[in-house]
Structure 1
Amino acid sequence: MQLDLLQGVLKAVRTGIIVFDAEQRIILWNDWVEQHSRIVADDVLGKTFTDVFPDMIDSRTHVAISEALRNNFASLLSQTLNKAPFPLYSTPADAAAGMRMQQAVHVMPLHIPALPRHCLVQITDVSMAVSRERKLREQAVELQSQSLVDGLTGIANRRRFDLHLEQEFRNAKRNSTPLSLIMIDVDYFKNYNDNYGHQRGDGCLVQIASALERVLVRANDLVSRYGGEEFAAILPNTNEEGALRVAEALRAEVESLALAHACSGVADHVTISLGVSTLMPEPAAKTGNLIHAADRALYQAKHSGRNCVVVNACKPRA
């Protein structure tokens, strides 16, 4: 009765069970393994590990079985390092395609009275868990990506700006290279919204963001939406002269869009004002010094006729 019960349990369990004797011969091969290997027990019982799994000789699984039989060591083979050690397949279609199921493998020594040591190998299908984990990772990456992108314009948002500025500030300090910042404001944008409506206003910001991105071609340059109608451009390893050239290119690119702006006080089309600052980071310097200087330059540009670039030297403040 107990033997019948044991056979019933082995047939019902939804994990693979293989038992090896002291000579690594297979003495148990349960129904689950039959189903997913497409090999019936009668074809493998009495055969050695190397006979049945020639491609796995000296693999981590083979070594774990040897250690269990020889030194009484149990092993849990990490799924991360051993994704699919045994030739097991979830479906016939997977078998035809050679796509193995993801597996967790537990190798345990067995002590049977009056017999040499045996080894139990338990195999669990973790394909669903792996798929779910992969999907969660992808969703996490997507969410993180979305959290750093401005929802309207598709360029970097303020959070991404803050992170990137801190990173490039550290790099500039470490490498003793200049770091430049350009603050950008759309001229008379409130008037634009009031005259054309917020939908047209949003479309205007989207086109400006695209124009700014077209100018910045280096990998570590970053243009972001700083807030409202304000944008910012971070230019690593760029001196004051280089930053001024980039700022003029940004201004010209936006002006070339020729977006009608009947209520502008400076032109009949959309324009931008820009404030530039460059910092050679010193021990006392902070990112706030750079931002403050660029803000002052932008303020001067807006009060000097707009549609222009003003450069403001940045000096670290205590």
Structure 2
Amino acid sequence: MNTLLKKILAPKNIEYLTMNSELRIVELSWGVARFADCPEQVRSGEDVCDAFPELIGLEETFKKIINHQINQFEIKGICRGLREEEIIYFDIYVLNNPEISLNREELLIIFEDTTDGFLKQQKITQVAKEYGLALSALDKTKTYLNQIINSMTDLLIVTDNQGIIKIINRATIVLFNYSQEELIQHSIFKLFEDEKITHNFKESEFLASFHLLNPIKILCKAKTGTSFPISFSCSSLNFDISENQEFVWIGRDMTEQKRVELQLRQQGERDRLLKTITQRIHQSLSLQETLQTIVGEILHFLQVDRVLIYRFFTPTEGRIIAETVINSSIPHLNPSILTPDFNFLLLSYFNSGKIDAIDDVYLVPINFPYLYSLLQLKVKASLVVPILIYDSSQESNSTNQLWGLLMAHQCYQPRHWEVWEINLLEELATQIAIALQQAELYEQLQIAYQGLQQLVIQDGLTGLANRRHFDRILYQEWNRLRREGAPLSLLLLDIDYFKQYNDSYGHLAGDFCLQEVAQILQNIVQRSSDLVARYGGEEFAVILPNTQTSEAIQVAEKIREQVEALQIPHQESQVSNYVTMSIGVATLIPIEHLTPQIVIHTADQALYQAKQNGRNCICIASP
């Protein structure tokens, strides 16, 4: 190796060796042995693969480099344990030896120590993971703080030093009736009605004059125009002196505190109710169970006397499909009230999707469409919400159709229905519609699955079990009867001269013939444990568990007689003018060393003998 190349490699922590075409080491640098798996093998004349097993199997690659088909070959990221816990990482580069003339074949193998770089990369990766964990923890902390802030019943507002709102909590939204978008990036003065503040101060001046942490009462105004006093305390946030100062405002409605708490509690309860019902819908595949749960939850939450779901089937037919009452003193609705006229009246009135909230039936105008029905139902107040489902039966006119009604009744006294109560029932009606669609999809899925199951086990032409299902049932019955020590009989049946029948009468007639024979088999073989299958083209099979030979012969003879009695013309048959069958019968008691194939083989031999005996007959396999 020339001196210049050695000088280039030395400071880079690189060693080298050269090898000939026979993979023998020719020349090596003094430190190359530290990269070897077997350092004692690193010497001139030794096979390079003994010291460096990474090179095993690369002979073709080496030839390509020598023949200048490729310039070089690299192996990166090799890890070698030196002693105890010391590890070295290195890369290998293989190229033609630049000092060798064209008539010599010699390769230069360079070993570069990459341990420092690899360890640095590991450290960087570890730091990145730790940084990611820190970010995750920070995100969780932020989520936790947001949950705390939004669970507060007090107002929380964060502004900059110009009074521009940056953050608000849920209580602020509820009290002032503004959305978050209507307040963020607006002045906090938007919430103040106190003219002494809004007319005499700019936001920054007011903040500068505010005695931090000393509560101050400020007359505020909601979006609805309602005025109320708020007790505010304010403190500055100075996390970073390089950033603009921010202020956090904590406010308490001195007159409406209980109302806010009640609203928040009701909202939380409504959310929990919706969550409970939604979870039940997703968890339950029983529509009736889901609907009964919904009416029960509504009754408990609204504290009404009766909740029911009424379904329309036709314009004149409907019925209650779920109902619950608060106690035994409240009767369930009398079905006799639910007349065709009652059904048609409700359907006509609610078909447009309108919601009806009646606080007192005795204050309803006398010409109200279903006033008489309400009086018949003996209710004092009624809330009715339509249940609408998406109907895509008409492709060009898909719309929401009235499926039924969700009703809440107060039976002993009038009741004012709050807006949130009406909204709640409307949301629950939507959940009911989801449950209905889910139930419909599940039913369709079940039908499709059953159809698929039939395709898997049923012969498409005859409707009998197919060969695959026959094999499975035979194996199953064979094992069962082996445990019980009971006999199993198998009939193999073949339509005589069926190929000639097909050739003479055509395949459509042949298919009809197979169907007629299949029907005879199904009519005769009636036990639930028996199985009739189409075994092949014109072959059928009958599995008769727990059946002695004599009983199997009776079944076989009955089949043979009734097939012939069909009198299906067969002019090409050599045994009759009509379609006939040959039948082989085999009966075995399954024992440990036998498989189901033995009974198939035995019955097949009997069928063959029946054909040899002239067809249109039964042959019983010899024991």
Q: TM-score scaled to structure 1, two decimals? A: 0.66
Instruction: Note the alpha carbon deviations across 1:250-291, whole angstroms, 9 max, x for none.
Output: 111101111111110111111000000011111112110110
Q: Give yes or no for the alignment of 1:218 onto 2:426.
A: no
Match runs of 1:156-167 below 5 Å: 156-167=465-476
**2:267 partner amino acid:** L
Read off the aligned partner of 2:179 and give its amino acid letter.
L
Amino acid aligned to 1:161: F
Higher relative contact order (CA 8 A, sep 6+): 1
Would you say the 8 A contact 1:215–1:253 is kept in 2?
A: no
Worse-superposed segment, 190-199 or 130-139: 130-139
Matched residues, number:
240
When you count strand as a share of all residues, which structure comes out higher?
2
- Segments of structure 1 that go 5 or more residues without pairing to the other structure are 9-20, 34-48, 50-60, 66-74, 99-121
Q: Which runs of 5+ in 2 are unaligned?
A: 1-164, 183-259, 296-308, 310-385, 389-400, 408-426
| 1:86 maps onto 2:260 in alignment | no
Aligned equivalent of 2:550: 241
Tell me by how many angstroms 1:7 deviates: 11
Secondary structure class of the residue paired with 1:86 = helix
Shift of 1:170: 2.2
User: Whose radius of gyration is greater, 1 or 2?
Assistant: 2
What's the counterpart of residue 488 of structure 2? 179
Which position in structure 1 is the counterpart of 2:63? none
Aligned to 1:117: none
Give SS of 1:182's match. strand
1:135 counterpart (427, 439, 444): 444
Distance 1:153 1:5, change over 3 A: same
Distance in structure 2 (CA, Å) of the matches to 1:146 and 1:90: 38
Q: Which deviations, in whole Å up to 9, do the C-alpha atoms of 1:155-212 show, x marking residues without a partner?
A: 2211221122122212212222111000000000111111111111111111111112
1:6 CA drift (Å): 6.3
CA distance in 1, matches of 2:443, 2:596: 37
Tell me the CA shift for residue 129 of structure 1. 3.6
Matches within 5 A, 1:200-219: 200-219=509-528
Instruction: Find the counterpart in structure 2 of residue 42 from structure 1.
Output: none
- The one-character-per-residue Cα deviations of 1:40-65 (angstroms, maximum 9, x if unpaired) are xxxxxxxxx9xxxxxxxxxxx8xx99
Q: In structure 1, the residue corresponding to 2:294 is in which secondary structure?
A: coil
The answer to whether 1:282 aligns with 2:588 is no
1:270 aligned counterpart, secondary structure: coil
Match of 2:266 among 27, 40, 45: 27
Partner of residue 601, structure 2: 292
Q: Summarize the Cα distance change of 1:246–1:141 in structure 2 as closer, same or farther, 3 Å threshold.
A: same
- Work out the percentage of aligned pairs sharing the same amino acid: 37
Q: Which residue of 1 aligns with 2:568?
A: 259
Distance in 2 (CA, whole Å) between partners of 1:192 and 1:292 is 27
Contact 1:172 1:280 in 2 (8 A): yes
Stretch deviating more after TM superposition (83-92 or 233-242): 83-92
Q: Which moved more, 1:139-148 or 1:298-307?
A: 139-148
Quote the residue 1:5 is aligned against. 179
* TM-score, length basis structure 2: 0.35
Change (3 A) 1:154 1:22: farther
Q: Secondary structure of the residue that 1:28 maps to in structure 2?
A: helix
CA distance in 1, matches of 2:180, 2:482: 70
Separation of aligned partners in 2, 1:220 and 1:7: 71
* Equivalent-residue separation in structure 2 for 1:141 and 1:244 (angstroms): 35
Asked if 1 retains the 8 angstrom alpha-carbon contact of 2:387 and 2:405, the reply is no
Pair 1:145 & 2:352 matched = no
After TM superposition, give the deviation of residue 151 of structure 1 in Å. Answer: 1.1
Question: Do the aligned partners of residues 27 and 267 (structure 1) sit closer, same or farther apart at CA in structure 2, a change above 3 Å counting?
Answer: same
SS of aligned partner of 2:535 = strand
| Structure 1 residue 29 displacement after superposition | 8.1
In the TM superposition, 1:20-59 aligns within 5 A as: 27-28=266-267
